[in-house]
Amino acid sequence: MNLLDGSAGGGQLVRTALTLSAVTGEPFRMRHVRRARANPGLQAQHCAAIEAVAAACNAETDGVEVGSESFTFEPGETGEEPDEFGGQVSVEVGTAGSVPLVFDALLPLAVVLDEPFTAHLEGGTDAKWAPPFDYFRHVKLPMLTENGLDADATLKRRGFYPRGGGKATLTVRPSSLDPVEFTERGARESLTAYSVAEESMAGDDVAERQVEAAPADADVNTEYAEADCSGSALVLAAEYEHANAGFAVLGEMGKEAETVGEEATEAFEAFEDGDAAVDSHLADQLVPFLALAGGEVRVPEVTTHVETCIDLVTEFGYDVTVEDEGDTVLLSA
């Protein structure tokens, strides 16, 4: 059993370990889960990811509960009856634990699925410390589907921080991934501002005010949604000739709606001034796909998330290298 140290990072290490364990068939035990965080141990979102991935690959688990700082995960054997990988699961993440982050753990399983797998999740679709649903749906997922991934996601209800209550479904089908080649972004083909707010905020024009600072050439998509609590989010989704990039900001108590738009636009403009092919948040999310399919990705910088994710994939026998090229960094596998 692979013994992993989870102290150097957060939930990303849990999700990546689950993915690679399911793909390789190698069981693991992770200790010191999120030890450096203010609230160490597994949180509801991480338990939900474990439950969902375990359902997909017929895994046995131990120690999976909120607050646990160690757990084990032992996947079944793929392709052998009755352990065919696939099926469906319904999981309540609880509170506003991120639904898109749970989906992240499931996407790479496409390479070992014997039949489609569908996950019905309830939790936070637009939550703190996580990419909003529109980032997942309009930035990340389209890039991966163009690289051979057969998957789609459906949003049924928004769930904002702190109460959650959102509902979304992801279906992943057996797929063969092409090498991940995002080294040049090419010319920008579109820019869309996805601005959403809970329906009670319509009287204050929150969704419209969030996009006031958006670039003049951006297409605007505003929405007011039924949800269990107030909240808002803005995603600037840029589609380039060879890659996508996204810039997301959540509305928060005390933050003006106009400020949300200004922060997202500043991040977009800073990205356009550089030469990276993908944004810094997408960089670490692509590491598992690099490990599994090979390729190269040009990213703005090596963040702590990128560094710890690369360290973890090496524990499963994969090699992702980092080459500093001055104003960008090239990740290769």
> Does residue 104 have a known ligand-binding role?
yes
> Does residue 284 have a known ligand-binding role?
yes
CA 271 to CA 127: how far, in whole Å?
A: 23
> Does residue 293 have a known ligand-binding role?
no
User: Do 277 and 329 form a contact (C-beta atoms < 8 A)?
Assistant: no
> Does residue 205 have a known ligand-binding role?
no
Q: Which of 242, 237, 160 is nearest to 199 (CA)?
A: 160
Q: Which of 192, 110, 196 is nearest to 150 (CA)?
A: 110
CA 308 to CA 293: how far, in whole Å?
A: 19
Q: Which of 159, 165, 170 is nearest to 198 (CA)?
A: 159
> Does residue 46 have a known ligand-binding role?
no
CA 32 to CA 69: how far, in whole Å?
A: 5
Q: Is 305 a catalytic residue?
A: yes
**Per annotation, catalytic residue among 32, 120, 138, 305:** 305
Q: Hey, is 4 helix, strand or coil?
A: strand
Catalytic residues: 305
Q: Which residues are annotated as a binding site for ATP?
A: 104, 281-285
Which residue ranges are tagged as binding site? 104, 281-285
